Amino acid sequence: MIKFLLNCWEKILYTGKSIACLQRLLVEQKGYFRYPSVWKDQVSFIWNQSVWLTDVHGGKPQRVSVQDPDLCDALLGETGIVFLSKGKIYFAPTHEAKERLVSGVCENTRLIGWNDDSCTQVVVSSSHQHPFTVSALYTVCLQTGQVNKLPLGSRGTFACWDSHHKTCVIQRDGYGYGSWQKYKGGMAGHLWIDRQGTGDFQPLDLGPFNQVCPYIFQDRIYFLSDKQGFGQICSCDFSGGNLQCHTQHQAFYPMNLRGSGHQLVYTTGGNIHLFDLLQKTDKILAVPVLVQNTQEARQTYCASKFLSEYDLSAKGDWLFVVSRGRLFFLSPSKGPVYQKGQRDGMRYRLPCFIDQQRCAVVADNGLHDALHIYSLKEGCQPVSEYDEKNFKGLDKGWGYLTSLRAHSKKKDILLATNHRHELLKIDLSTQTLTIMDVSACGPVAGYDWSGCGRFVAYGLADNSHAGRILIYDLETEEKHVVAGQNFVNQSPVFSACGKYLYFLSSRDFKADYGPLHFDLHFDPAARPFVLTLQKDIPTPFLKPFEKYLSQDSSEGLPQENQDSSLETKSESEKDQNASVPQSDAQTSDTKHAKATVIDFQDIEARLQAFPLEPRDYQGVWALDDSVMYTVEEEKGHQALYCYSFEKMQEELILSKITPKSLTFSEDRKLMAYCTDRKLRVVKAGVKPDDQPDPSFHKGGWVDLSRIVLNVCPAKEWPQMFAQAWRLQRDLFWKELPKEDWDRVYKRYAPLISLLSTPQELRSLIWEMHGELGTSHAYVYTDRSGITGASLGAELSYCSQYQGYEVKKIWKGDNWHPHPLKRPDLNVQEGAYIWALGGQPLSLENSPEILLKNQEGRAIPMTFSQGPDGAQKTVLVFPTTVSEERKWRYRQWVNQNTQYVHQKSEGRLGYVHIPDMGTFGLECFMRTYLQEFDRDGLIIDVRFNGGGNVSSVIFRYLTQKRVGYDKTRWHGVVEYPLQAPQGPMVALINGHTGSDGDVFAHTFRHLGLGPLIGKRTWGGVVGIMPRYDLVDGSYTSQPEFSFWFDEVGWGLENHGAEPDISVDITPADYEKGIDPQLDRAIAEGLIRVQENEMRKQKLYPVLL
């Protein structure tokens, strides 16, 4: 009781409410509840990272689990609650105070229900041991942890039984209900029924929309569906007829339906509903929340982990840093830290020094961007604030700003780019917006001020493979093209002296032969270029020869004939100056003050390439006598080089720097960069000394631990939600109706105050995205998901012998190291593993637990051949879970390939493409080169996860043989090379998605062959996630919508229809047969036979 009152008192103190509000607080305060479950008169749910238990009348909830940020499902039963975290199943008995681990099914697991009335076996859906993320239904024994597959086929995501446990209804597939409203593509959930318990499942014809979460009561099947235009509880009889709708929801979709007896439980907008099937009544369960949300308390985070942006002051003695959206001023070395702006509720982006004392920054409240000006000396609040609504010249405002640049000589003018790919001039003094230019195809490809502030150079993408470099005159408002649109041109930058313009251009087309087969590819084609801005200015590449071109008669004379009085510097001074490339600002202030003069006539004729090899250059920066540039080094890292005009050579300055992390002081003496989330300030153009530095500067490494990053996560959520909403408004592939999308925000935003965890926020954003009715509207986090080590085998705990049986060893490529297939081990299927790492195995000490973080390490393993065999201990080297999945996939492909060869007597080849990314292209080329010369091909794109390489694959499949190249000793070679021998057929199913949809439709449209299987996923609006939320998570915006001949926009939310519809029933899966593949073989052989006459007529050289 005391704890109860303390919780209430904490709530009152935290919310600032008076004691008189206590009663109203207890009644009105609620949470955003998820995953409810009902059993008799008890209801469980997840809230505030815990599992809670209350009664059907809404009494005081009781916490029944420890706080766990990874909780993702809970199920209430007769003897306790089962819940799920990171794929592992836990059980909390009602008579005990501590939960225990039951099993680690691991992959894509969801709790479904109970397999018996005593609730000793829980039913789960999981992609456990499947080569793809395709679910099947399993039972897990709460006592032993034994996992057994139910004989319900594959693609089962939900199941229920009648009270006699005879009639069974399963939900097959089911995608996007709630997160993709009114989805009706090939992955929509459909109900199948086995009326007699014989395993003979038949589909119920209830239309193309989702039918999910079925529950049987008496003689009807209840389920969730948006068949009526919005999510409701519906029901039908066992034949699929007499369809009824039982609810009238209009604001939020009903989610997570479960039932027990005559009661259903589900949620809408975070509310728990109880639906009485006898009375046909629906009520909201009032659950008082009496525990403080831990996310409302301040938490201290590591500033370096959330470091996102920074800028150097004009002289490099101050840093303007943004970490997790908060704004800080600090010196690079030791010293105080000043936090500017609001502590909570505002996200700051794009810090930009205007001069030595002032800085501009974007203040993003989620709904729109404002500009704030801060002074280093004048407190934490901005000295000026600017709202786009008050600016003239552009009714639609400046939009979502993506970059910001200032110039010390143009203190009232900022340059910016936005999500509309516009280059903007923002005049703060007159509050005027000017669109300087707009890129027709992609973002502005870099821009830079001239030293005097009059000119702006920038790059524009005219199409996907070419762009221009232009210079804009701020005084005359004229634009001049200085590099044409025949090549990719980007990243222009003025030299500080105002004589040159440097930029990157891809003009070196060098083809090279591929190492695997007859194929050619192009190496990186970019190099730095220099443009001389005045006609009478020599190229910077003559820098070493300046003294020979000088008018001074003493220049060019031999050293011994020169006046010794010219050498006034000491040797140490010479050495020091030689080692530090000077910037223009180092030479004189008058150089910066000089006006930049540009002769635009015939300017492109003054273009010259750097004498460097073409590489994957990423950025360029100009110093006085040198130019710095970055080169892609490895994935996620770049190398920084400096090219000296004096020495006519380049030098490696830094390696493994974070892309787009370089920034320079305005005088270009110092630069800041980031590597592995560590920030450093060093001299520009000089290779830093990485030896230990005990001095005050510590080698230039900025001690970010000086920043105390205190965050109240709950106060970030309104801005994060608003930003996610706004990004859809600004980036969705077509303009959303303003009033409709505004109403969506007003409907969902009030729920933010009910949230208690980041997971609940992401769930809310998912549901808001569902209002788009479009594919690819996702929420990403930085969580790595399920990771760990694996022995490359399916292991099953045997309670009788208290060991783990090796049920199946996944057979990938035999040349890849396998933990259990090393020649000296001789571990066979049926073997028993008794210990790992010297620890005996048990239900609690499972292989998943003992192998954690052990990938690649030598682990002692004790095993025997069979339960009674002699035990011996050997060393094994576990692999990663992701590598094991590849072995499963390779075994599946090998089995299919052998089956096709056998059934077709070698006439048909089999090629599976798992996705349309790099892995999918690798798999395609590997098998295509082995199979293309057979009489026909089966192209299997079932379970294809999408990507963007379908057009590359069609370059091979669309080739048509027109002849042969016959030799005496080298055989006969087809022309064109690698053109397929004969006809093709393609296999598709509901898991064929995204670029897989595109491939399927195009395959048929090009006349390559028929599509066999089931309708594809139906999601063809592409994405390019690039704008993160303040906590580092991302949302995606459907930006690239595909239109096709014949179907227009109709592939989205429908999919590609098969020419020959063939399903795989649950009974087929249990029998181990694949009717789709069998039909593909039959159709392929028919077409091979039809092609035989043409083959003999066209290619007599083979006879």
Q: Is 760 exposed, middle or buried (0-12, 13-18, 19+ CB in 10 A)?
A: buried
Q: How far is CA 930 from the centre of its chain?
A: 33
In Å, how far from its chain's centre is CA 381? 36
Q: Is 309 helix (H, G, I), strand (E, B) or coil?
A: strand
Residue 404 domain-assigned (yes or no): no
Closest residue by Cα to residue 610 from 662, 645, 581, 639: 645
User: Looking at residue 657, which CATH number applies to its domain?
Assistant: 2.130.10.10
Evaluate if residue 193 carries a pLDDT over 60: yes
**Please, is 1094 exposed, middle or buried when counting C-beta atoms within 10 Å of its C-beta (0-12, 13-18, 19+)?**
exposed
Residue 817 DSSP class: -
**Beta-strand runs (E) in 645-708:** 649-657, 663-664, 670-675, 678-683
Mean pLDDT, rounded, for 356-362: 92
pLDDT of amino acid 786: 53
Burial of 844 (C-beta count, 10 Å sphere; 0-12/13-18/19+): exposed
Residue 521: which pLDDT band, with cuts at 50, 70 and 90?
confident
CB atoms within 10 A of CB 280: 9
- The residue range of the domain holding 1060 is 904-1020+1055-1102
524 burial (CB, 10 Å; 0-12 / 13-18 / 19+) is middle
Q: Rounded to whole angstroms, how far apart are CA atoms 786 and 87?
A: 7
Q: Which two tokens stand for residue 1040?
A: 């690239």
Q: How far is CA 1037 from CA 358, 378, 762, in A?
A: 35, 40, 15
Tokens of 747: 């409907």
Q: Given this model, what pLDDT does residue 551 score?
A: 54
Q: What is the pTM of this model?
A: 0.91
For residue 256, give the CATH number of its domain: 2.120.10.60
Q: Over 80: is that where the pLDDT of 13 sits?
A: no
pLDDT of residue 573: 39
Q: Is the peptide bond before 976 cis (omega within 30 degrees of 0)?
A: yes
Distance (Å, whole) CA 808 – CA 276: 46
> E strands, 177-292, where?
190-194, 202-203, 211-217, 220-225, 232-237, 244-245, 255-260, 263-268, 271-276, 281-285
CB 231 within 8 A of CB 181: yes
Cα–Cα nearest to 338, from 347, 350, 349, 326: 326
Q: Could you tell me which of 150, 129, 127, 121 has the C-alpha nearest to residue 138?
A: 150
Summarize the confidence of residues 834-857 as an average pLDDT.
88
Are 275 and 265 in contact by the 8 Å Cβ rule? The answer is yes
Does 994 lie in the same domain as 943?
Answer: yes
Q: Let me know: does 109 contact 128? Beta carbons within 8 Å.
A: yes
Q: Is 149 helix (H, G, I), strand (E, B) or coil?
A: strand
Q: Which two tokens stand for residue 13?
A: 């103190």
Tens of pLDDT, residue by residue over 417-445, are 999 999 999 999 999 999 999 998 999 99
Whether residue 828 lies inside any domain: the answer is yes
587: exposed, middle or buried (Cβ count in 10 Å: 0-12, 13-18, 19+):
middle
Mean pLDDT of 388-409: 92
Kindly list the distances between the CA atom of residue 1040 and the CA atoms of 421, 674, 733, 793, in Å, as whole numbers in the listed order: 15, 32, 6, 41
**pLDDT value at 565 more than 90:** no
More confident of the two residues 145 and 976 = 976
Among the listed residues 137, 131, 207, the one whose alpha carbon sits nearest the alpha carbon of residue 171:
137
C-alpha–C-alpha distance, residues 427 and 433, integer Å? 6
Residue 943 pLDDT grade (very low, low, confident, very high; cuts 50, 70, 90): very high
Residue 1045 resides in a domain: no
List, as one string, the DSSP characters of 450-494: -TTSSEEEEEEEEETTEEEEEEEETTTTEEEEEE-TTSEEEEEEE
pLDDT tens-digit series, residues 247-298: 999 999 999 999 999 999 999 999 999 999 999 999 999 988 767 777 788 8
Please tell me whether residues 602 and 734 are part of one structural domain. Answer: no
Cβ neighbours around 1102 below 10 Å, total: 10
| pLDDT range class, residue 365, cuts 50, 70, 90 | very high
- Is there a single domain that holds both residue 62 and residue 109? yes
- At residue 401's C-alpha, the angle toward residues 399 and 407, to 5°, is 125
Q: How far apart are CA 344 and CA 516, in angstroms?
A: 56
In this structure, are 931 and 1060 located in the same domain? yes
Among 383-387, 549-553, 609-613, 713-717, name the one with the lowest average pLDDT. 549-553
Whole-angstrom Cα distance, residue 233 to residue 212?
Answer: 10
Q: Which residues sit opposite 370 in a β-bridge? A: 363, 387
- Between 217 and 79, residue with greater pLDDT: 217
Does the structure show a pLDDT above 90 at 1? no
Q: Are 707 and 330 in contact (CB under 8 A)?
A: yes
pLDDT of residue 546: 77
Q: Between residues 193 and 544, which one has the greater pLDDT?
A: 193
Looking at the fold, whether 664 and 739 belong to one and the same domain comes out as no
- 19 and 47 co-located in one domain: no
Would you place residue 372 in the very low, low, confident or very high pLDDT band (cuts 50, 70, 90)? very high
Asked whether residue 757 falls in the same domain as residue 730, the answer is yes
**Whether 211 contacts 225, CB under 8 Å:** yes
Is the separation of the CB atoms in 261 and 40 below 8 Å? Answer: yes
Q: Which residue has the tokens 């087929």?
A: 1068
pLDDT on residue 572: 38
1068: part of which helix (H) or strand (E)?
A: helix 1066-1071
Q: How far apart are CA 834 and CA 641, in angstroms?
A: 56
Facing residues of 265 across strands?
258, 274
pLDDT surpasses 90 at 382: yes
Q: How much of the chain exceeds pLDDT 70, in percent?
A: 91
Is residue 908 domain-resident?
Answer: yes
Query: 10 Å Cβ neighbour count for 552?
Result: 8
Beta-strand pair 936-940/984-988: parallel
The mean pLDDT of the chain is: 89
552 — pLDDT class (breaks 50, 70, 90): low
Split at pLDDT 50, 70, 90, the class of 310 is very high
Same structural domain for residues 1083 and 1067? yes
Task: Name the token pair of 818.
Answer: 């396998």
Residue 97 binned pLDDT confidence (cut-offs 50, 70, 90): low
Asked whether the predicted pLDDT for residue 530 surpasses 60, the reply is yes
Which of 846, 879, 912 terminates a domain? The answer is 879
Structure confidence by residue, pLDDT tens digits, 750-801? 999 999 999 999 999 999 999 999 999 999 986 555 567 889 999 988 888 8
Residue 18 counted as domain residue: yes
Burial of 576 (0-12, 13-18, 19+ CB in 10 A): exposed
Q: How confident is the model at residue 378 (pLDDT cuts 50, 70, 90)?
A: confident
524: in domain: yes
Contact (CB, 8 A) for 108 and 126: yes
Q: Looking at the domain assignment, is residue 522 inside a domain?
A: yes
Please classify residue 1071 by burial: count the beta carbons closer than 10 Å to its beta carbon, then call 0-12 exposed, 13-18 middle and 19+ buried: exposed
Please give the single-letter amino acid code of residue 1044: F
Higher pLDDT, 943 or 588: 943
How many structural domains are present in the chain?
Answer: 6
Residue 292: exposure state from Cβ atoms within 10 A (0-12, 13-18, ≥19): middle
Q: What's the rounded Cα separation, in Å, for the pair 898 and 18?
A: 76
Q: Which two tokens stand for residue 1094?
A: 């043409």
User: Average pLDDT of 915-942?
Assistant: 96
Residues 655 and 669: their CA atoms lie apart, in Å, by 20
- What is the percentage of the chain residues whose pLDDT exceeds 90? 69
Residues 6+ apart with CB under 8 A from 866: 830, 831, 832
Q: What is the pLDDT of residue 468?
A: 95
415, with CB counted inside 10 A (0-12, 13-18, 19+), is buried
pLDDT in tens, 1047-1071: 999 999 999 999 999 999 999 999 9
| Residue with more model confidence, 1009 or 579 | 1009
**Where does the pLDDT of residue 65 fall: very low under 50, low under 70, confident under 90, or very high at 90 and above?**
confident
**Could you tell me which residues are beta bridge partners of residue 631?**
617, 639
| Predicted local confidence at residue 442, as pLDDT | 92
Over residues 405-414, mean pLDDT: 90
Rounded Cα gap, residues 99 and 97, in angstroms: 7
10 and 57 in a single domain? The answer is no
CA distances in angstroms from 230 to 401, 729, 770, listed in the order given: 36, 22, 11
DSSP-based three-state secondary structure for 790:
strand
Note whether 14 and 35 are same-domain residues: no
pLDDT at 822 over 50: yes
Residues 761 and 672 in one domain: no
User: Which one is predicted more confidently, 212 or 852?
Assistant: 212
* Residue that finishes a domain, picked among 879, 894, 916: 879
CATH number for 852: 2.30.42.10
Q: What is the pLDDT of residue 1100?
A: 63
Distance separating alpha carbons of residues 154 and 224, to the nearest angstrom: 21
Which candidate, 973, 940, 982, places its Cα nearest to that of 1080?
940
Domain final position from 266, 291, 316: 291
Whole-angstrom Cα distance, residue 304 to residue 289? 35
In a domain, 811, yes or no: yes
Do 954 and 936 have their domain in common? yes
Among the ranges given (243-247, 411-415, 946-950), the one the predictor scored with the smallest mean pLDDT: 411-415
Helix, strand, coil shares of the chain, percent, nearest 5, are: 20, 35, 45
- Tokens for 1078? 């069998």
